[in-house]
Amino acid sequence: MGGINPEVPLHLAQATIFTGKGFRNAEDYAHYLIKFQDRPLCPSISLDPARFNRYDMNIPGLINAVGWSNLPLDQCYNFRPEVVRMFYANMQPCFNTDPPTFTTVVYNYLITVTVDILSYLLGYPIAGAEVLDEGDFQEASFNEVEAIRLYTRDTGEYHSSQLATGRLPDDLKVLHFFITRVFLPRSHGLNRIYPMDMWIMASAKENRPISYPHLMFNHMLHYCDDNYNEELPFAPQITLLLRGLGIDLRYKSGSS
């Protein structure tokens, strides 16, 4: 699978704080209060894939096929919900950089996050297919319609967004559960099959490793959009990331 990047430049600098509450300016603080202050967090679910290893359902094997068997996802960390919400509320994508980055502000710190930094600080191997957004599916070695016909009980041609998990065989139903609750947690469409879900399931069937830090990076960016009122994922991982960057999460002065 390849190892974790041994040397990653970690960018951490003082941010200019206008309000004293950990935001760039008064507008950003107002945005947080309106859009993020009451956003719920995704529950952190820990499951042992071995529980689903039986003659007709080798979930550990499918997870291993994409290279995610040893991801440290079941570590529990104490976290403050307002810190996680602040992380997402202040997130600003920077897609014109190489590599793609996003910045965010947490308390007095301006943070730049890349896929390499996620890999380095969270201990996630970076090797594997690198799909950052749905547009990359056009270039991936994967035909969505053919995969649907191959891996579901229905032989008709359907776009994956029209499919529900009821059409999946048992092993892919459970794998889909792991994708949507453990690896890329979400609070909507839990029984729907989206293009990213199908791509991961097809990769598992075809023994094609996927770079988890790349998927995590893209999944985080989805939740900085004001148009979504969904549960915010990765609270334990964000806590570990911030601690790795040297941020004192006990900071309370002027915070709400």
- Full DSSP string of 213-227: HHHHHHHHHHTT-TT
CA-to-CA distance for 83 and 11, rounded, in angstroms?
A: 19
Helix (H, G, I), strand (E, B) or coil at 189: coil
Look up the domain containing 23 and give its range: 12-244
Asked if residue 134 belongs to a domain, the reply is: yes
Question: How confident is the model at residue 212, as a pLDDT?
Answer: 95
Question: How confident is the model at residue 183, as a pLDDT?
Answer: 93
Question: How confident is the model at residue 225, as a pLDDT?
Answer: 72
Count CB-CB contacts under 10 A for residue 144. Answer: 16
Question: How confident is the model at residue 76, as a pLDDT?
Answer: 60
The answer on pLDDT for 156 being more than 60 is no
The answer on pLDDT for 145 being more than 80 is no
CA dist 79 to 41, 90, 113, 195, 239, Å? 11, 18, 19, 31, 6
Asked if residue 253 belongs to a domain, the reply is: no
Q: What mean pLDDT value characterizes the chain? A: 77
For 184-212, what is each residue's pLDDT tens digit?
999 888 888 887 888 888 888 888 899 99
With a pLDDT cut of 90, the percent of the chain lying above it is 25
Asked if residue 182 belongs to a domain, the reply is: yes
Asked if residue 250 belongs to a domain, the reply is: no
Asked if residue 72 belongs to a domain, the reply is: yes
Question: How confident is the model at residue 138, as a pLDDT?
Answer: 47
Kind of pairing between the strands at 101-106 and 109-113: antiparallel
Q: Are 144 and 199 in contact (CB under 8 A)?
A: yes
Mean pLDDT of 22-27: 76
Task: pLDDT band for 18, please (50, 70, 90 cuts).
Answer: very low
Structural element, H or E, at residue 115: helix 115-122
Higher pLDDT, 199 or 233: 233
Question: How confident is the model at residue 16, as a pLDDT?
Answer: 43
CA-to-CA distance for 210 and 74, rounded, in angstroms?
A: 19
**Structural domain tally of the chain?**
1
For the entire predicted model, the pTM comes to 0.80
CA-to-CA distance for 249 and 229, rounded, in angstroms?
A: 25
Asked if residue 252 belongs to a domain, the reply is: no
Asked if residue 97 belongs to a domain, the reply is: yes
Mean pLDDT of 21-46: 81
The answer on pLDDT for 253 being more than 60 is no
